[in-house]
Structure 1
Amino acid sequence: MRVMQILLSQSQAGAETYFEKVAAAIAQDPSITQKVVIEALPPREQRLDNAGVDYFTLPMGKLSKPLLYDWKLKSIVRDFKPDLIVTWVNRASRKCPPTSAVVVGRLGGYYDLKNYQKCDHLIVNTQDLVRHVTDNGWPADHVSMISNFGELPSRLSVPAPKPVIPEGHRVLLALGRLHEKKAHDTLIKALPDIPDTTLLIAGTGELQGQLEQLAEELQVSDRVQFLGLRKDIQELFDLTDVCVFPSRFEPLGNVVLEAWATRTPIVAAASQGPSWLITDGEDGRLFEVDSSTECARAVNQVLADDGLARRLAENGHRVFLERFSKDVIVDQYKALFQRLVNERQARASNPADQPGSPT
């Protein structure tokens, strides 16, 4: 089976990071011939090189982009002749060229379905996103729910200096872009009530200055380290006592899956995705969205009780192995791809089954 995956984005946020993980996983499967199309972005190209992913780049120069971008995308699709194309995020789904391949749009959020009119099928990663797309008129038999996997592939890791942790401090880790939705402010507000801890925040965004100022005002700036964009997430988890995910709005929550995969206790705000994934007190702790008081209470409870921390981590890891491991999720992708390709080929070989064919 010939599969093409297209991502047209300069961002290095959650959806784009997960795209790289899926591309790297499928590159290891001998039953699939994969080609990936991305916009030219040297850091992403280096990671895909390291992961053995075969990719094409689209030009992003001031002159080359308007002149060659669309033409090159069309020629890549035409020359590769894929059986199936996966388009990631809105832009790739809008710009996918005309093709005889099955086009599958992958959604990880509550996106406008006008962007997916060229798609034959959709993949979403939560049941609530199934509801979202069907409520907005997408046929129920043309959408599949396949969640994300939690492994952190070493071949996509980029080494970076390890944070220095003060003697006697426990480590809290928060991952995600510095955006209002991610609610890092809630966690920083909780930090005065979580003594003897250092908070590592891995991510970039427009709110960094505001968050740094908040930490100064609360007199915890010496306990908060803003690490910027990091691609050594496994190494950060190795330092971590509790992963905290305070997001106000989260359809799924890759951070939860990554914490489970690394056997790290997770404390999360009870937004849409985490409250779907986590059973409070069994495989993680949940607190009310925007409540810094509840956040501090939950984190302190886990830090104070080694038995609880181990139980949450082990139970989370068990859920990960059963439902959210790379093998489980990639097998679901492959089964869906094969079914869609077989159906397309069957229709092509029997024109009488085509809509509008004479009877």
Structure 2
Amino acid sequence: MKILMLSWEYPPKVVGGLARAVADLSQAMAALGHEVSVVTSDAEQCEDSVYAAGVRVYRVNHFLPRALDFLEEVHLQNYHLIQKSIELLNQGGFEVVHAHDWLVAPSAKVLKHAFKMPLVCTIHATEWGRNNGLHNDVQRHISDLEWWLTYESYRVICCSEYMRSELRRIFQVPADKLTVIPNGVHAESFARVHPDLDQWRRNWASPEEEIVLYVGRHVFEKGVDILLAAAPKVLAYRPQAKFIIAGHGPCHDDLKRQAWELGLGEKVHFAGFVDDLTRNSLYHLADAAVFPSRYEPFGLVALEAMAGGAPVVVSDVGGFAETVQHEVNGLTFYAGNANSLADNIIRLLTDKLLARRLSERAAQDLTEKFDWKEIARSTVASYRQITPRREAPVLYDRYQLTAEVRRKEGSFHESRNHGGR
């Protein structure tokens, strides 16, 4: 198939998990022989057009005209996305447009109607879920765009059964319009580490210290404050523990202030943004990788930690419940409960045999359940459900032809979309 993808971010521009998910999916599709073009925003030191890993990536300007705020930046960027996409679609041959999240919703709608293209979207998270409701006009506006994208799409893909139920509940998306396809992980991508890990480890912790690691955005929904609140109890039982908090975000300064007020001192190190090699190395060294999210549609970061060999502790919310099974391939704690989190971290640090067993089972699950090749096949299969089939021509007389065309067109439109045509 010839596929056009729209995404606000694509590596090396990585804000969250969406960028890597789109890249991995598009590259897996290309490896299966499909022709994939991705239209996305620009990134520093990136060419406007590049062919890499079998995918054609086109980057559009999002700095000009200068936006007054984030929402205006998103809408202005969509004009650039539309312009580039029109250039590509005019070349012909594309069979489907696949849009990722609300930031490209205006582009997706325009292209669908202007070119009569089947539209598929993936909803990676919702504004309602991120904020446990909608509390201001900006959040309501973003939620409206998310609903709009699901309404306009012929098929809505989400990453977990949890997200399926959320989209049914919040947006009333028809059940037969939804498809659950999980994200995946390339385990081999996490094998590359610093050549002398033992020596390199000294930059982060002393030899006797046990590393408790968090990697991710510093936003309320990720629950880093819960991890810090659990730290005093962990240190009371395991004084050799060392907490490494990697990443950045709007809550970063508040988290540093919280650590100071808790008296954690040198027992917490805020590492800031870390590159892939550093991230991989930290996962390989971690005695526990902790993800205390309040909201998690899927939990790709837990799979990445598993791929890096780290035993994981996650909250029992959202998609985590479908990727991490307690005492099978990781440990789970009661979401929002710092005492429950501390108990599970202490257990991992105390029982090294359990930690090793969980890591070994996690590595097995990555191979069996979260392979990108199978995920790409499932995604293409969902496209084929809503794209017209190419059938061998059949000879009709003039009246039979008219009746048959009307029948097929009516059936196609009725079955493909319950909403915006």
TM-score band, normalised by shorter chain: 0.7 to 0.9
Query: Displacement of 1:142 after TM fit?
Result: 2.1
Pairs within 5 Å for 1:31-50: 31-42=33-44
- Any idea what SS the aligned residue of 1:286 has? strand
1:58 aligns with 2:60: yes
Task: Name 2:408's counterpart in structure 1.
Answer: 353
| Pairing 1:96-245 to 2, within 5 Å after superposition | 96=108, 97=111, 98-110=114-126, 112-135=146-169, 136-151=171-186, 154=189, 164-194=204-234, 195-232=239-276, 233-245=279-291
5+ unaligned residues in a row in structure 1: which ranges?
none
Instruction: Indicate the residue corresponding to 1:295 in structure 2.
Output: 341
Q: Whole-Å Cα distance in 2 between the matches of residues 339 and 356 of structure 1?
A: 13
The match for 1:2 is 2
For the 8 Å contact 2:241–2:267, the answer to whether it is kept is yes
Q: Quick one: distance in 2 between partners of 1:348 and 1:221? A: 75
Q: Aligned equivalents of 1:44 and 1:221: distance in 2?
A: 40
Following the alignment from structure 1 to structure 2, what is the Cα–Cα distance between the partners of residues 198 and 283? 23
Residue by residue over 1:135-182, the C-alpha shift from the partner in whole angstroms, topping out at 9 and shown as x without a partner, is: 433232222110110225649x999x9852222111122122101111
Number of aligned pairs?
352
Match of 1:284 in 2: 330
**Matches of 2:383 and 2:266 in 1, distance apart?**
50
Asked whether the equivalents of residues 62 and 80 of structure 2 are also in contact (C-alpha less than 8 Å), the reply is no
SS of residue paired to 2:90: helix
Separation in structure 1 between the aligned mates of residue 21 and residue 252 of structure 2, nearest angstrom: 23
- 1:26 aligned to which of 18, 24, 29: 29
Which amino acid in structure 1 is aligned with residue 253 of structure 2? G
Structure 2 counterpart SS, 1:123: strand
Distance in 2 (CA, whole Å) between partners of 1:129 and 1:4 is: 24
Q: Percent identity?
A: 22
Report whether the alignment pairs 1:84 with 2:96.
yes
Is the 2:227–2:292 Cα contact (8 Å) retained in structure 1? yes
| C-alpha spacing 1:264/1:59, structure 2 compared with 1 (3 Å) | same
Instruction: Give the aligned residue type for 2:221.
Output: K
1:304-347 residue CA offsets vs partner (Å, 9 max, x unmatched) = 11110111112222222221122332232233334443x45469
Partners of 2:311 and 2:80 lie apart in 1 by: 48
Q: Distance in 2 between matches of 1:206 and 1:72?
A: 32
Counterpart CA distance in 2 for 1:49 and 1:79 is 17
Q: Secondary structure at the match of 1:355?
A: helix
Matched, 1:317 2:357: no
Please tell me whether the aligned partners of residues 14 and 176 of structure 1 are also in contact (alpha carbons under 8 angstroms).
no
Higher mean Cα deviation, 121-130 or 194-203? 194-203
| Structure 2 contact 157–179 (Cα < 8 Å) conserved | yes
How far has the Cα of 1:86 moved from its partner?
1.2
Q: 1:226 to 1:79 in 2, by over 3 A?
A: farther
CA distance in 2, matches of 1:199, 1:84: 46
- How far, CA to CA, are the matches of 1:215 and 1:231 in structure 2? 24
- Asked whether the 8 Å contact 1:212–1:221 carries over to 2, the reply is no
* Residue 75 (structure 1) aligned with residue 87 (structure 2): yes
1:302 and 1:347 mapped to 2: Cα distance? 61
After superposing the two structures, state which structure 1 stretch, 135-144 or 100-109, moved more: 135-144
Would the alpha carbon gap of residues 309 and 80 (structure 1) be closer, same or farther in structure 2, given more than 3 Å must change?
farther
Which amino acid in 1 is paired with 2:211? V
Displacement of 1:240 in angstroms is: 1.6
CA drift of 1:41 comes to 1.7
| CA 1:69–1:35: 2 relative to 1, 3 Å | closer
Contact 1:347 1:354 in 2 (8 A): no
Q: Within 2, Cα distance between the matches of 1:127 and 1:220? A: 38
AA paired with 2:337? Answer: S
> What's the C-alpha RMSD, in Å, of the aligned pairs?
3.1
CA distance in 2, matches of 1:344, 1:229: 47
Paired residues of 2:211 and 2:243 also in contact (CA < 8 A): yes
Distance 1:344 1:201, change over 3 A: farther
Residue in structure 1 matching 2:105, options 93, 96, 108: 93
Alignment partner of 1:205: what SS?
Answer: coil
> Does the C-alpha gap of structure 1 residues 26 and 228 become closer, same or farther in structure 2, counting only changes over 3 Å?
farther
Deviation sequence 1:213-249 (CA, Å, 0-9, x none):
1111222231222222334132331222211010111
Give CA-to-partner distance per residue, 1:241-274, whole Å, 9 cap, x none. 2110101111221122223333321111112222
**TM-score (norm. length: structure 2):** 0.74
CA contact (8 A) 1:93 1:119 kept: no
Distance, in Å, in 1 between the alignment partners of 2:93 and 2:8 is 19
Matches within 5 A, 1:322-333: 322-333=368-379
Letter of the 2:28 counterpart:
A
With structure 1 as the length reference, what TM-score do the two structures score? Answer: 0.86
Q: Which moved more, 1:226-235 or 1:64-73?
A: 64-73
In the alignment, is residue 15 of structure 1 matched against residue 18 of structure 2? yes
Query: Between Structure 1 and Structure 2, whose CA radius of gyration is higher?
Result: 2
